[in-house]
Structures are given as structure tokens and as C-alpha cells.
Chains A and B, each alone.
Chain A
Amino acid sequence: MIRAAKQSLLIAAKDLRIESRSRQTISLVVVLGILIVTVLGLGLGGQRPDGPAATAVLWVAYLFSGVLCFEKTMAVERQDGALAGLLLAPLDRGVIYLGKLLSNVVLMFAVAGVITPVGILFFGFDLSKAPLGFLAIMGMSMLGFAAVGTLFAAMVSSSRLQGGLLAMVVFPITLPLVIASTQLTSRLYQGDETWNGSAFAVLVAFDAIFLVVSWLAFEWVIEP
């Protein structure tokens, strides 16, 4: 167990080191995210949208940036057949999944760390009342989103359709997560401190189900 955790961390650290060198993913994804928020923000005619609409705009940016992120981190493995090198190592393929998931979550957080302030500026979010609640919702949402995205990026990476296909598969699956996250975040945005238990339960259930299913399924979808 400890060995598996160390190996997952090793894979994630390797991904982040590669990203810190090339900056191929983060620069592209951040620019895309900012563009989405800006274009949609301006498209709303300068009017400040209500809570759900504003958080939905943010989620559109997270979704598209996330898909690009998942594709790029898997593309690193496909380059020069590096994935085969990983698959040859004496480790459970679930360990590779967890490593890739971890690096995707870190990258997603880094991207959200740039996109969200832009959204705050555009839409005048006031998250000062519950910053930790916002972070917790974001953390759980990103984890569930990355759990699905990492699995399907591995599947799609051997396909020629790639980009379009990943978005087509991941977006519908993550719909419950997006709805729950949007509801929870917009309540925070509006200063509503009443607890939305059902939306939170959806987040927890989504994360639990897709983490386990994706971890188990990864072995069968990953191909050298």
C-alpha cells in the first residue's frame, strides 16, 4: 500500500516536473480558461449574472480547460512510447491511474487558481463569507471531474478522434457533478448559508463511485 502510494506520487511528480519544464499544458489551458470567462462575461453585455449563471460560466471554463489538461498529460505518455515503459514496470496499473489523477488534480487546481479570480473580477463574486466552503466544493468537484477525465483520456489517447471525443464522453458523464457543484457554489456566492445536503451528497457519491470504477477500469482501457 505504501509502496503503491509512493509509486503514484513518483508518477505525479514526474508529470509535474515535465510540465514545469515544457509549460505546454498550463499556459495553453490558462489562456483558454481566461478567454472563455472573458468572452462569456462580455457576451452577457456587462450585466452581472445571478449566482447559478455566473458559476455555470466558470464551470464551462473549468470543463474545457480540464479536458485539454487531461489530453495533454496523457499525450506526454504517448510521445516516444513512454507509456509502454510505465506499463512494463512491476506495478499495478491502478497505480499509474492514481499518479495521473493526482497530477491532473494539481494542474486543474493551478488552472482554477487563475481562472477563478478572473471570474470573481468579472462577476463580482463575494466568497469572503465561506472561502473554505468554496475550496472544499472546488476540491471535491475537481477530484470527481479528474477521476472521469483521467480514465477517458487514457481510453481516447489511442484513438485518432482524441479532442472532440474526450469532450463528448466526459461532459455528459460529469453533468451531475457540474449541477451539484454549481448549486453549492452559487449558494455561497449569494451568501446563502443554508446547507444543501442533497447536492453535497451527489458530489460525495460521484467522487466515490467514479474514483473506484475508474481505478478498477483503468487496467482494461490502457493500451501500450
Chain B
Amino acid sequence: MSTLATQPGTASTAPQTPAALQTISLQKRIDDRPILRDINLTVAPGQYVALLGANGAGKSTLLKILATLIPPSDGRLMLFGETVGWDGWAARRRIGLIGHQSMLYRDLSALENLIFFGKLYGIASSAARAVTLLKAVDLFDRADDPVKSLSRGMMQRVAIARALVHDPELLLADEPFDGLDAPSCRALEKLLAQLQQAGKTVVLANHDIDQSLRLSQRTVVLRKGRVVIDQPSQELTPPAILKEMERA
């Protein structure tokens, strides 16, 4: 794991430590349609949070706001104790996002993609970091192959390496298991767990309730843009979550 996290965190949740992320009355409207309503979340550093909800519940929108990709319509977002403005450059250095899509350039090789993104983040030894990450995701032997020639699972592993290229403290993952075969799913589960053990904060949006409860420490369920459950995962059961998700 030390290869993925260059500076392993402490996972400390001492009272003085600012929350990794905090949302205060966060709202998002698109064309006057409310997508997120009054979201108040506080996630401590090193916590592994699963974000569940039916399609259209607002999971992806919430992750995009947390990643500073889109601004909220109202409310406040704080990352590591600092309010994030629309031009939250400093915050972006501390966030990694794994999305539905790979966010990679298909005509570049895995190595070129990682070096490019590493340089954008101002990493001095981006080539060395890229090699380290490709070894960590077990793709070093395909480093020079164009991304378009990789399988979906391999592409997702490169996407994970891209999200980790700047060693972020907060990792946001939007349904990263979609389309992966069972071995790739297991490998990704393991990787996310390793990151959390290394002190990274992980927020995972997922469809699979059982998997989310098994992996995370805390589960947040969204329904129609509102938080309807926010509890430790061990206190929850899949039927209870499903019932809450299906409620009209």
C-alpha cells in the first residue's frame, strides 16, 4: 500500500482535526428542479462512507459538488476545514475522483495519461509516480499500450491510478464497480480498503447495498435529494435501506 499513498495519513479523528468534508445546507437545483435539498454531512478524516440511493437520488450530483466540478446552488462546502469557493484550486489538490467514465485519453498510453495528469498537478517526478502507480494497480506490463486497447477492468484500474496520481487525502468514487467482472471488483474493493487504512477518506457512491455495508464504516442514503439515513454501516441491514430507498 505504501506505493499508493506516498505519505500515509494517521486516520486520527481527534477533536482538533477538521472534518475531511462538511456540507452545510447544501442545495442543488437544475432548471428550478431540486436535485439536492438541505444536505448536511460531516465526514471525519480517514472515514469510509458509502453513499446509497436509487437512480436520480442525487448521488452523482453530490459527488460532483464535493469534487468541486460543479457549484452548489446554495449552502456551503468545507473541505479540510476551509470553505471551498468556486475556484477551489487548493482543495482540488486534496481530492481524487473516480467517476462513471475513465477520464482518460484513449489515444494516449496508460503511462502517458498518468504523466500528463501528474504534471498538471505539479508533481515534480510525475514519471516515477506514474510507474509506481501502474505497478500498484498491476498494469505496469501494459504501461505503453494505448488506453483504448485495454479491457474495461484494466481501464478502470488506470482510472484509479489517475485519481491517485497526486496522492489525494479525499477519494470520491462514483459507482466504480459498474461494469467490472468479479475479480476486478474484488481487487478494487481491496484497493479502496487499503487506501482507507492508509488514512485516506473514502466516499463511495454505489448501487450494491450489501457490498456497501460490507466495505464502509458509515452509510448515507439519499432519497429525492435528501439524506434519509446516516448511520454506522454495522447498524444497518439491506432490507431497511431498501425500504427507505423505495419509500414514496
Contacts and interface: CB of A to CB of B under 8 A. Distances in A.
28 contacts: A10-B116, A10-B119, A11-B120, A14-B108, A17-B108, A18-B105, A21-B108, A22-B107, A76-B105, A76-B107, A79-B105, A80-B103, A80-B105, A81-B100, A81-B101, A81-B102, A82-B104, A85-B117, A87-B69, A88-B67, A88-B69, A88-B97, A90-B90, A90-B92, A90-B120, A91-B89, A224-B69, A224-B70
B188 interface: no
B122 interface: yes
A8 to B, nearest CB: 11
A168 interface: no
Contacts of A14: 105, 108, 116
B146 to A, nearest CB: 8
Contacts of B162: 85
Given A21-B107, A89-B120, A224-B70, 5 more contacts: A14-B108, A21-B108, A84-B99, A88-B92, A91-B89
Contacts of B35: none
A17 B97 CA distance: 25
Contact of B104 (A11, A17, A85, A92): A85
Size bracket of the A interface: 20 to 34
Q: Give 5 nearest A-B pairs by CB, closest first.
A: A81-B101, A85-B103, A89-B120, A90-B89, A90-B92
A160 interface: no
Interface in A135-188: none
B226 interface: no
A70 to B, nearest CB: 18
A86 interface: yes
Interface string A1-23: 00100010011001001100110
B145 to A, nearest CB: 12
Contacts of A91: 89, 120
B87 interface: yes
A82 B105 contact: yes
A10 B120 contact: yes
| Most B-side CB within 10 Å, residue of A21, A76, A82 | A82
Nearest to B93: A90
A224 B61 CA distance: 11
Interface in A185-216: none
Interface residues of B, number: 31
A223 B71 CA distance: 11
Nearest to A86: B120
Contacts of B116: 10, 14
Contacts of A88: 67-69, 92, 95, 97, 103
A219 B64 CA distance: 16
Interface of A: 3, 7, 10-11, 14, 17-18, 21-22, 76, 79-82, 84-92, 219, 223-224
A87 to B, nearest CB: 6
Contacts of A22: 107
Contacts of B120: 7, 10-11, 86, 89-91
B135 interface: no
A81 B105 contact: no
Given A84-B69, A84-B99, A89 B104 contact: no
A198 to B, nearest CB: 39
Nearest to A81: B101
A22 B97 CA distance: 27
Nearest to B146: A21
B87 A92 contact: yes
Nearest to B105: A82
Contacts of B101: 80-81, 84
Interface in B77-96: 87, 89-90, 92-93, 95
Nearest to B87: A92
Interface in B97-148: 97, 99-108, 112, 116-117, 119-122, 146
| Most A-side CB within 10 Å, residue of B90, B95, B120 | B120
